[in-house]
A and B are shown apart, each in its own frame.
Chain A
């Protein structure tokens, strides 16, 4: 049937795959001749946390690890004791960098903080013009989690004001709560599942440090296309 060539290619490809797979391959690490055995993915998956970099079990250990990772990544991490302190810190950064306009989205943490800045605010919630966001000095967003193991910030298009807010402005400020600090990557994926499945946001991103490149002589430069600075304020 030539009626639907698109469907044909799907069938052609799947047909070639099935034909190819009719001859079994030796298991990974085995020498040829050994019979293949079905690898249990669940078995591999349950052990993953044991192979990955070590994370301590207490909150203090996780916090210390996140701090070390963030410093290594050249991200600023500040732990604050109250929402008032967070607002004060944000105002301090705004003054130091003489922000004129910021972009953000509506959220329990961002609302109060951004209102306190006394600056023009672009909110992404109901759509926005990217050229308008281009003129903002900072993007202020919430997040889903912080990951101690890697120093990453987990954001999604639902939790952090869409896709561009965390990459377009030159400074990305993340506002997080202490409870959001997770131990490791497996915990982060487990969180995504319980929080969103099956209606996942269209974008899920692990942000690890400010935008960077080493494409010129392998020398590290920050702010290749995304933010030059990443600040994580945690209450």
Chain B
């Protein structure tokens, strides 16, 4: 087992038995399905909307080269600098280069999942910069030195008590059990940071090829401030995020809000098309967009699973996943949790190291059914299982099936086997639960079913 797999197994076993943890996730997600269903029902036709969204994304991803060229050309035409990074190291280098060139020191960040993917914060801190996350959930997990627990709700696993204790310890504030007061503490602390910051770093939910803009979806206004006050704005974006046309957003913005958090629209949906333009009151002097590949082209090269690049990171598949609801977000040990994480992580970080995620699924299909862009998630998990085994077969599987085939082809041997099974069963309690138990993986948490006293063939004979 790879280190990632054994870590996952250890976490999953511990967390499934942790009833407090499970209760926490359940309360956090309890209301989600109700509000989401309410907003879905306001659409005149949600299923057709999903199909249109899937088709637009299909077009975007299957003509990615043309759209990216158009996107970059239009951005550059309005004074934006576009950078291309093949991997995480290049992206970090580009970003650190921009900051050093500016002789800047303090950085404010709004939520950037691609930043988590390339471990940007660690790199920035190592380079001696001061980095502060401005999204409330991200700020909380940053203070805890933890990765986000859910890529839409980063601090979903914490209670107000834990957050209050954290703030008391790190910021010296009085303890409180009011979410409102806790939010206001973060607001006060972060206000000064926005005004003092030299650099604002953001992600991007969509890139619009036709007009050369990035689109950021958020509720708090922290990205708005991050992109308004600092002198430099750097946006880090995965290459798969491009949409062909501006008006495509008329569909994607409300769908992202509905699927993501059961909202009609997210609080702020903002398009950025360049640095401050002549005649504008404010805005950054420089705007940089860093386009990140980091093995996305690897996933693109698999036509069967290419549609996983349609993902708009709404998080809906996590919210409905029975596995996610039992083990939570940290157990995965990957940047992207839940079903979509289980599909893309093997492509982004290696099939053999991350194939265990495709086996951690009940294949119930809840994720596929809920996905607003119709990604065939649970089938992709099956395909990954197949690919992993084809690449690296399990040595004992083939002889086992050959043996079984031989047994099934010889009636005498087969009925002897049945008889031996019944005899063996009498002695089984002697080994049950010990190291010699051949069915230990099963009997750890379940009873082995009893073999029937009579086989079908025996019964058929008595019938005559």
In the A-B complex, list the 8 residue pairs whose CB atoms are closest, starting with the nearest.
A226-B221, A162-B281, A28-B54, A163-B228, A224-B220, A215-B137, A20-B301, A16-B297
CA distance A6 to B180 in the complex (A): 47
In the complex, which of the residues A6, A10, A167, A185 contacts B224, with contact meaning CB atoms closer than 8 Å?
Answer: A167
Roughly how many angstroms separate A232 CA and B84 CA in the complex, as a whole number?
A: 42
A10 to B72, CA, bound (A): 10
CB distance from A227 to the nearest CB of B (A): 7
Within 8 A of B (CB), among A17-42: 17-21, 23-29, 32, 36, 39, 41
Q: Does B317 sit within 8 A of A, measured CB to CB?
A: no
- Inter-chain contact B43/A52, CB cutoff 8 Å: yes
> What CA separation (Å) do A45 and B48 show in the bound complex?
12
- Contact surface of B with A, Cβ cutoff 8 Å: 27-29, 31-32, 42-46, 48-49, 51-52, 54-59, 61-65, 68-69, 72, 78, 83-86, 90, 134-137, 140, 153-156, 158-160, 163, 179-180, 182-184, 186-187, 190-191, 195, 211, 213, 219-222, 224-225, 227-229, 239, 244-251, 253-254, 261, 263-277, 279-283, 287, 291, 293, 297, 300-301, 303-304, 306-307, 310, 374
Separation of A50 and B51 alpha carbons in the complex (Å): 13
List B contacts of A186 (CB < 8 A).
247, 250
Cβ–Cβ < 8 Å partners of A158 in chain B? 279-280
Q: Mark A155-181, 1 if CB is under 8 A from B, else 0.
A: 001100111111110000000000000
Query: In the complex, what residues of B have CB within 8 A of residue A157's CB?
Result: 276-277, 280-283
Pick from A17, A41, A166: contact of B56, CB under 8 Å: A41
Q: Which of A10, A47, A151, A206 contacts B269 (CB 8 A)?
A: A206
CB-based contact B58/A214 at 8 Å:
no
Q: Does A184 contact B (CB under 8 A)?
A: yes
Contact A206 B250 (CB under 8 A): no
For this complex, 24 residue pairs linking A to B, each with C-beta atoms less than 8 Å apart, are A13-B297, A14-B68, A28-B55, A28-B58, A28-B374, A39-B58, A41-B244, A51-B251, A52-B254, A54-B42, A128-B282, A158-B280, A167-B225, A202-B274, A205-B269, A210-B267, A212-B220, A215-B153, A225-B191, A225-B220, A225-B221, A225-B224, A226-B221, A227-B221
Query: Is B55's CB under 8 angstroms from A69's CB?
Result: no
Asked whether, in the complex, the Cβ of A10 is within 8 Å of the Cβ of B221, the reply is no
Please report the C-alpha to C-alpha distance between residue A112 and residue B261 in the assembled complex, in whole angstroms.
Answer: 40
Query: Is there an interface contact between A206 and B225, defined as CB atoms closer than 8 Å?
Result: no
Choose from B32, B44, B68, B268 the contact partner of A226 (Cβ within 8 Å).
Answer: B268
Of the listed stretches A56-64, A84-92, A113-121, A189-197, name the one at the interface; the rest are far from the partner chain.
Answer: A189-197
Tell whether, in the assembled complex, residue B264 and residue A203 are in contact, meaning their CB atoms are under 8 Å apart. Answer: no
Q: What number of A-B contacts does a CB cutoff of 8 Å give?
A: 318
- Provide the residues of chain A in CB contact with B182, threshold 8 Å: 216
The contact of B301 among A14, A23, A134, by CB within 8 Å, is A23
CA distance A68 to B282 in the complex (A): 34
Contact check, B273 vs A201: say whether CB atoms are below 8 A apart.
yes
The distance in angstroms between the C-alpha atoms of A54 and B49, with both chains bound, is 13
Given contacts A23-B303, A184-B250, A211-B221, contact A51 B65 (CB under 8 A): no
Contact between A185 and B253, CB atoms less than 8 A apart: yes
In the complex, A118→B57 CA distance in Å?
Answer: 52
Whether A215 pairs with B155 at a CB distance below 8 angstroms is yes
Known: A9-B85, A217-B159. A224 touches B280 (CB 8 A): no
- Of A151, A204, A210, A223, which contacts B273 at CB under 8 A? A204
A interface residues, Cβ below 8 angstroms from B:
6, 9-10, 12-14, 16-21, 23-29, 32, 36, 39, 41, 44-45, 47-48, 50-54, 69, 72, 105, 124-128, 130-131, 134, 150-152, 157-158, 161-168, 184-186, 188-190, 192-193, 197-198, 200-219, 221, 223-227
- Residues from chain B with a CB closer than 8 A to the CB of A128 are 281-282
B85 / chain A contacts, CB cutoff of 8 Å: 9
Query: Are B28 and A224 in contact, with the CB atoms below 8 A?
Result: no
Smallest beta-carbon distance B416→chain A, Å: 43
CB distance A225 to B225 under 8 Å?
Answer: yes
Task: For A26, list chain B residues within 8 Å (CB).
Answer: 303-304
| Chain B residue contacts of A152, Cβ below 8 A | 265
Contacts of B265 in A (CB 8 A): 150-152, 206, 208
Tell whether, in the assembled complex, residue A161 and residue B281 are in contact, meaning their CB atoms are under 8 Å apart. yes
Partner of A13, one of B229, B245, B272, B293: B293
Given A128-B282, A202-B280, also A25-B303 (CB < 8 A): yes
**B247 nearest CB neighbor, chain A only:** A189
A214–B268 CB distance below 8 A: no
Closest to A190 in B: B247
Q: Chain A residue with minimal CB distance to B64?
A: A17
Please give me the residue from chain B that is nearest to A50 by CB atom.
B44
A19:B301 contact, CB within 8 angstroms: yes
Q: List the A side residues contacting B43 at CB < 8 Å.
A: 51-53
* Given contacts A52-B251, A69-B264, A224-B136, A216 and B163 within 8 Å (CB-CB): yes
Contact among A12, A45, A185, A192 with B86 in the assembled complex (CB-CB below 8 Å): A12
Q: Nearest residue in B to A28 (C-beta to C-beta)?
A: B54
Q: Which B residues are CB-close (under 8 A) to A45?
A: 56, 245, 247-248
Q: How far is the CA of A6 from the CA of B83 in the complex (A)?
A: 7
A88 to chain B, nearest CB (A): 28
Given A9-B85, A130-B195, A189-B250, check contact A202 B272 (CB 8 Å). Answer: yes
Asked if B270 contacts A204 (CB within 8 A), the reply is: yes
Q: Output the nearest chain B residue to A184 by Cβ-Cβ distance.
A: B250
In the assembled complex, the Cα of A151 lies from the Cα of B314 at a distance in Å of: 21
